[in-house]
């Protein structure tokens, strides 16, 4: 019998262990974010369970990159094979050690990614039949130190295994000092990445050493349009963009003219999304604490009510005292029961199998009455 | 330095794990009490496991709530799911607190009769359920999917009471706690 139950236990545990393989990784993705190559210890980064991706990744950048000036790094991924969700996650990294490997760790600031955020890890859903894609990040270096960029990919596949791949070679980038009087975006200018749906957008661009400026933007279908941009002060320009009716992205860039050679900025991505959801936080916290106190109070109140409805202490002789007071005319002599006499007599053969003395003390009578623990059998 | 996201994952795993074991133990306690599971000798063990894991989960819950708030994207509560998570976790916290205080103050008497047993085990199970729902809401928030999605739970809707209702509930809850505490004191002082 014991052997049988052990076999059952082993079978159940084995089944649970096998089930874990089906739940490996996160087929629904993890969302765009700043992530290291191992994605915080995700299954894709675990060499013991992952499989190599067949994807080919290559990075490219402009020939000249200036310190503090936004630049574009483009990742081209080909030969893509994915699971039925067609979801892939792409990384831009500055190291392949698996930790402290984001561009931020190497002194680069991500100003924009292809999805309208500022993440080094972004997720894409490929179209049916699509087996290659190209995405870009706009970054700005804070130092002149050379950096090497790498790309990595996480995705699913035909099997349940998580797939992992990385670029074969790194892209070496060495920022140069900015030439004097070069028209440029202001060093403290951070391009917006989000705008609200159904509202025209006033986009403010801050520049340095710039005398005139042209503004271009394009929709997801690639149609490039120009918009008027007006000066709103020293080094400040304002462009108007039409309202977005759908949660889509557009890209914009400016061409700067001044004493130095003309400069065209990278394409910055601007995503339209629903207006932020707002709620009074004080009301939320107040209600949360009210729920805490109400539930705790309710449980305690019910507990005391039902626990005190039947006092089971062996020392409680209140009924005996009341009975004696009512019936006796002579001085009351209270019968004092010993602790042992209030206990249920042990059945023949001693305590039932598996019972402790303390349990017998509390439940012995119920056992003998057949109300508890199989005593009637 | 551990990021708040990682810390939140660690603490929520502790909370969910602890509360799950507590929920399982409370269920088995109920089965033993009602004689469905004929293993009375297990009751002490299950009672201990249920309350120790509940206490452990309760200790980890504030860390999970605080790290969850600091790790959520954006500032403050910018999603109805986050608000529902807060409500569910605090409700679970209340159930667990009531259950533990009851067990500490009343001792074995919480198992003394059917009604008391039902209330005590239900409170423990409600705490477990609330925490599992909180975790499910967290999964919906971060990954857009959760195992409990098959129930179509309305995480996107928030039932927010007016401030005066919350304030009244808070006072009522405090009063119930105080009354319960006093009654527990009088019950326990007999012995």
* A204 strand-pairing partners: A238
* B172 strand-pairing partners: none
Tell whether A142 is covered by a domain. yes
Show Cβ contacts of residue B26 under 8 Å, excluding neighbours closer than 6 positions: B50, B121, B124, B125, B128
Rounded Cα–Cα distance for residues A249 and A117 (Å): 11
Domain stop point among A118, A142, A173: A173
Show Cβ contacts of residue B175 under 8 Å, excluding neighbours closer than 6 positions: A297
Tell whether A354 is covered by a domain. no
Residue-wise pLDDT tens digits, A335-366: 554 445 567 888 877 888 888 888 888 888 88
Residue of chain B whose Cα is closest to the Cα of A100: B1
Rounded Cα–Cα distance for residues B47 and A363 (Å): 16
- The average pLDDT across A315-327 equals 70
| Bridge pairing between strands A87-93 and A147-155 | antiparallel
Residue-wise pLDDT tens digits, A240-257: 888 888 888 889 999 999
3-state SS assignment for residue B123: helix
Given CB atoms, is A40 within the 8 Å cutoff of chain B?
yes
Number of cross-chain residue pairs from A and B with Cβ atoms under 8 Å apart: 197
3-state SS assignment for residue A132: coil
Q: CA distances (Å), A6 to each of A14, B45, B78, in order?
A: 12, 21, 50
3-state SS assignment for residue A306: helix
Residue-wise pLDDT tens digits, A101-143: 889 888 999 998 988 888 999 888 888 888 889 889 999 998 8
Helix axes B80-106, B42-71, angle to 10 degrees: 150
Tell whether A278 is covered by a domain. no
Tell whether A8 is covered by a domain. no
Given CB atoms, is A85 within the 8 Å cutoff of chain B?
no
Residue of chain B whose Cα is closest to the Cα of A367: B40
Q: Which of residues 46-65 of B touch A (CB under 8 A)?
A: none
- The average pLDDT across A146-166 equals 83
Rounded Cα–Cα distance for residues A206 and B58 (Å): 51
HSE-CB of A165 using CA atoms within 13 angstroms: 23
Tell whether A14 is covered by a domain. no
Which backbone phi and psi does A245 adopt, to 5 degrees? -95, -15
Tell whether A363 is covered by a domain. no
Q: pLDDT at position A375, please?
A: 56
Domain stop point among A273, A288, A303: A273
Tell whether A213 is covered by a domain. yes
Higher pLDDT, A344 or A330: A344
Residue of chain B whose Cα is closest to the Cα of A291: B91
Tell whether A48 is covered by a domain. yes
Work out the minimum CA distance from B139 to partner chain A, whole angstroms.
10
Which two three-digit tokens encode residue A209?
């050493």
Work out the minimum CA distance from A178 to partner chain B, whole angstroms.
34
Clarify whether residues A134 and A28 are in a common domain. Answer: yes
Domain that holds residue A207: 184-273
The answer to whether residue A22 scores a pLDDT higher than 50 is no
Per-residue buried b or exposed e for B128-159, using 16+ beta carbons within 10 Å of the residue's own CB: bbbbbbbbbbbbbbbeeebebeeeeeebeebe
Residue of chain B whose Cα is closest to the Cα of A313: B191
Nearest by CB to residue A279, choosing from B77, B172, B175, is B77
Work out the minimum CA distance from B151 to partner chain A, whole angstroms.
19
| Bridge pairing between strands A249-257 and A171-173 | unpaired
| DSSP H or E run through A191 | none
Domain stop point among A273, A308, A340: A273
Q: pLDDT at position B188, please?
A: 58
Q: pLDDT at position B94, please?
A: 95
Number of domains in chain A: 2
Higher pLDDT, A222 or A20: A222
Residue-wise pLDDT tens digits, B102-134: 998 888 888 888 889 999 999 999 999 999 999
Assign residue A88 the CATH number of its domain. Answer: 2.60.40.10
Rounded Cα–Cα distance for residues A377 and A92 (Å): 71
Chain A interface, best mutation among B117, B180, B185, B191, by max A CB count within 10 A: B180
Chain A interface, best mutation among B8, B103, B177, by max A CB count within 10 A: B177
């Amino acid at each position: 019998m014991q052997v049988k139950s052990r076999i059952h236990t082993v079978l159940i545990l084995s089944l649970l262990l096998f089930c874990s393989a089906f739940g490996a990784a996160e087929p629904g993705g993890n969302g765009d974010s700043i992530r290291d190559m191992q994605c915080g210890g995700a299954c894709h980064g675990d060499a013991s369970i992952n499989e190599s991706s067949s994807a080919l990744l290559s990075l490219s950048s402009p020939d000249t990159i200036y310190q503090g000036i936004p630049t574009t790094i483009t990742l081209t991924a080909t030969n893509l094979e994915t699971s039925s969700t067609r979801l892939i996650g792409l990384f831009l990294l500055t190291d392949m050690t698996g930790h402290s490997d984001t561009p931020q760790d190497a002194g680069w600031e991500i100003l924009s990614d292809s999805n309208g955020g500022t993440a080094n890890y972004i997720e894409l859903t490929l179209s049916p039949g699509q087996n290659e894609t190209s995405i870009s990040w706009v970054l700005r270096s804070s130092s002149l130190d050379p950096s090497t960029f790498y790309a990595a990919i996480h995705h699913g596949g035909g099997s349940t295994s998580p797939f992992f791949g990385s670029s074969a070679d790194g892209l070496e980038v060495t920022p140069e000092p900015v030439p004097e009087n070069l028209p440029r975006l202001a060093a403290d200018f951070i391009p917006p990445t989000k705008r609200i749906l159904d509202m025209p957008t006033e986009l403010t661009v801050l520049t340095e050493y710039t005398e005139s400026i042209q503004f271009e933007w394009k929709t997801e279908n690639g149609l490039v349009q120009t918009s008027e941009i007006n000066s709103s002060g020293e080094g400040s320009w304002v462009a108007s963009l039409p309202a977005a009716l759908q949660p889509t992205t557009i890209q914009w860039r400016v061409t700067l003219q001044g004493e130095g050679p003309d400069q065209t900025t990278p394409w910055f991505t601007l995503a339209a999304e629903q207006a932020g959801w707002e709620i009074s936080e004080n009301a939320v916290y107040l209600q949360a604490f009210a729920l805490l106190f109400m539930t705790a109070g309710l449980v305690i109140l019910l507990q005391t009510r039902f626990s005190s409805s039947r006092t089971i202490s062996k020392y409680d002789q209140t009924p005996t005292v009341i009975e004696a007071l009512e019936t006796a005319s002579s001085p009351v002599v209270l019968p004092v029961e010993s602790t042992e006499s209030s206990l249920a007599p042990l059945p023949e053969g001693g305590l039932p199998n598996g019972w402790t003395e303390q349990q017998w003390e509390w439940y012995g009578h119920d056992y003998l009455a057949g109300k508890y623990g199989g005593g009637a059998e | 330095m551990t990021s708040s996201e990682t810390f939140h994952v660690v603490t929520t795993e502790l909370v969910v794990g602890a509360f799950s074991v507590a929920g399982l133990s409370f269920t088995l306690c109920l089965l033993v009490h009602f004689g469905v599971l004929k293993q009375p000798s297990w009751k002490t063990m299950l009672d201990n496991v249920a309350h120790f894991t509940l206490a452990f989960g309760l200790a980890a819950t504030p860390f999970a709530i605080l790290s969850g708030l600091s790790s959520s994207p954006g500032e403050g509560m910018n999603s109805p799911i986050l608000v529902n998570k807060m409500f569910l976790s605090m409700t679970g916290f209340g159930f667990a607190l009531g259950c533990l205080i009851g067990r500490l103050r009343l001792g074995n008497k919480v198992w003394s009769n059917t009604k008391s047993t039902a209330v005590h085990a239900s409170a423990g199970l409600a705490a477990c359920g609330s925490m599992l729902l909180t975790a499910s809401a967290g999964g919906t928030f971060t990954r857009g999917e959760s195992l409990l999605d098959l129930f179509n739970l309305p995480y996107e809707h928030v039932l927010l009471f007016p401030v005066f209702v919350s304030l009244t509930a808070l006072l009522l809850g405090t009063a119930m706690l105080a009354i319960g505490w006093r009654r527990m004191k009088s019950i326990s002082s007999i012995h």
